Structure 1
Amino acid sequence: MLNTRHPDVQLRPTADGSGTLYVPALDEHYHSTHGAVQEARHVYLAAGLEPALTAVTGPVRVLEVGFGTGLNALLTLERSLTAVVHISYDTVEKHPLPWELVRGLATAPELQAPPLPAFRQLLHEAAWEQPVALTPGFTLRKLAGELQSLVLGFEAYQVIYFDAFAPEKQPDMWTDAVFEHLYAATAPGGCLVSYCAKGSFKRSLRAAGWQTEGIPGPPGKREMTRAWKPKIFVGLSSFI
């Protein structure tokens, strides 16, 4: 179903040739206008997924907050085609977008070669609330509803993609309670990555127990945030 709170979404181009959606009621884009694909690769894959693929020997479990147009999921699926470990990808969306709308978005040239266009559609048409194996190395589970009310597995995820609308647009998603919820669902040594670099965001993360760092952001943004859940070694009293 189309997001009924913001039904007048508009298709917009971004600087790298890929498309995004604009929500007039919020005066907000789903992605950076400087480039949707390059933002997603920089923030979520390079800063979040790649460290996990290097550090984790078994399956990597990713939780995405905000499925939206499916771009982060598509790029993660693309990366899974060359990864040596399986990627399980859970994604939460309160207001799913219909494929009929998303299919009209411009696609970056790098994502137009088969099999990615077919995978893009499969991501949107996959059943909700159940695991769907889209490839031998990538399993998708789409969860509809509010993140705050979902029961997430304890220490289940190595990577959190936090891609909610900006704090001033969607303040209920940027509370201490939300980051406590995500902290409990993250395995020790796991990370959370977000395009946001606001001080209030980092303070909420630290209040929940995360260790935060500001790292260079994607084009058009000076900084982004990566947060880590401390890993406790048996026999040591300190965190790393």
Structure 2
Amino acid sequence: MSEKIKIITTEDGSHSLYHEELKETYHSFHGAYRESLHVFMIYGLDSWVAMNPKKYPIRIFEVGFGTGLNAWLTLVWAEQYQIPVLYHTVEPYPLEKEIYSQLNFIHQNDAIWHYHKYFEALHDAPWNEGGPISEYFNFKKDKVSLQEAQLYPTDVVFFDAFAPSKQPELWEKEMLEKVINSMRPGAVFTTYSAKGQLKRDLKELGLEVETPPGPPGKKEMTRAWKKAE
């Protein structure tokens, strides 16, 4: 697997990975770190918390553990705000240690560098088992595809699969429906993609769809809410 994956540096100085077989990067060329903060933290987790103050623990499901950046940023968030998070992610093709140990995400922000030990802890955690990584962050990663995954009730969905043009099977309406069925009332679904078909499918599946501004280099993204009871 590692022979197909190369480390690259994006415009904000943070690393991403290039998958040679798919001819696709794991993040935006315009900045991996900035993209994760914008799409998943600000327009995902922060937005849900603003709508659901003091509703803990927060249950998050991520499609595509990948580099572990989203999970690590969420762990840092949980520790800083002292808010318990239950985080579940799926990844059928985990990175090898020789790759993830070289990624420079922990050096992007001096204010959170002291959480660096948790980045490798997330990668080193055993697959298909759940448990605490830090005081406020409980973590389970399953080495399965989304099609095979058992999903749990979820408040926030980070849909971070490869682009629809590269992994169309993960963006099919049937897969979206599986994820949406796991979302609790008032839950939010967020992704970097702004494809028209995606937004139409989400609307047909009953979500309230929004098109916020995208991260640097991208005009739009997609956020969608499940109606609260």
Asked if TM exceeds 0.5, the reply is: yes
Partner residue of 2:90?
Answer: 92
User: Which residue among 26, 35, 38 is the counterpart of 1:42?
Assistant: 38
**What count of residue pairs does the alignment treat as equivalent?**
226
Partner residue of 1:124?
Answer: 123
Letter of the aligned partner of 1:219 in structure 2?
P
Supply the distance in 1 between the matched residues of 2:78 and 2:103 (Cα, whole angstroms): 23
Does structure 1 retain, via aligned residues, the 8 Å contact 2:59–2:86? yes
Partner residue of 1:187?
Answer: 184
**Rg comparison, structure with higher value:** 1
Letter of the aligned partner of 1:210 in structure 2?
L
Letter of the aligned partner of 2:142 in structure 1?
L
Letter of the aligned partner of 1:67 in structure 2?
F
Supply the distance in 2 between the matched residues of 1:165 and 1:94 (Cα, whole angstroms): 13
Supply the distance in 1 between the matched residues of 2:149 and 2:217 (Cα, whole angstroms): 33
**Partner SS state of residue 215, structure 1:** coil
Alpha-carbon deviations, 1:83-129, whole Å to 9, x = none? 24201110110111112211122334316964322111101000111
Is 2:17 aligned against 1:21? yes
1:51 CA drift (Å): 2.1
Letter of the aligned partner of 1:46 in structure 2?
I
Does structure 2 retain, via aligned residues, the 8 Å contact 1:52–1:60? no
Supply the distance in 2 between the matched residues of 1:166 and 1:114 (Cα, whole angstroms): 30
Runs of 4+ in 1 over 6 A off after TM superposition: none
Identity over aligned residues, as a percent?
38
TM-score, normalised relative to structure 2: 0.94
1:146 CA drift (Å): 1.2
- Which shifted more, 25-34 or 52-61? 52-61
Letter of the aligned partner of 2:90 in structure 1?
V
Partner residue of 1:145?
Answer: 144
Greater helix share, structure number: 2
Q: Which runs of 5+ in 2 are unaligned?
A: none
Letter of the aligned partner of 1:178 in structure 2?
M
**Partner SS state of residue 71, structure 2:** helix
Partner residue of 1:235?
Answer: none
Alpha-carbon deviations, 1:165-224, whole Å to 9, x = none? 000100000001011101110000001000000101111212222221100000000000
Q: Which runs of 5+ in 1 are unaligned?
A: 233-240
Supply the distance in 1 between the matched residues of 2:184 and 2:145 (Cα, whole angstroms): 22
Does structure 1 retain, via aligned residues, the 8 Å contact 2:190–2:222? yes
Does structure 2 retain, via aligned residues, the 8 Å contact 1:18–1:106? yes
Alpha-carbon deviations, 1:114-163, whole Å to 9, x = none? 4322111101000111212011110110011111222212xx11000000
**Partner SS state of residue 21, structure 2:** coil
Supply the distance in 2 between the matched residues of 1:31 and 1:114 (Cα, whole angstroms): 21
Partner residue of 1:106?
Answer: 104
Letter of the aligned partner of 1:30 in structure 2?
Y
Aligned CA RMSD, in angstroms, stands at 1.5
1:149-188 alignment runs, 5 A limit: 149-153=148-152, 156-188=153-185
User: Which residue among 199, 204, 218 is the counterpart of 1:202?
Assistant: 199
Supply the distance in 2 between the matched residues of 1:191 and 1:209 (Cα, whole angstroms): 12
Supply the distance in 2 between the matched residues of 1:211 and 1:230 (Cα, whole angstroms): 7
Does structure 2 retain, via aligned residues, the 8 Å contact 1:90–1:142? yes
Supply the distance in 2 between the matched residues of 1:152 and 1:209 (Cα, whole angstroms): 19
Partner residue of 1:215?
Answer: 212
Does structure 2 retain, via aligned residues, the 8 Å contact 1:13–1:106? no
Is 2:59 aligned against 1:70? no
Partner residue of 2:59?
Answer: 61
Supply the distance in 2 between the matched residues of 1:76 and 1:165 (Cα, whole angstroms): 20
Supply the distance in 1 between the matched residues of 2:82 and 2:49 (Cα, whole angstroms): 8
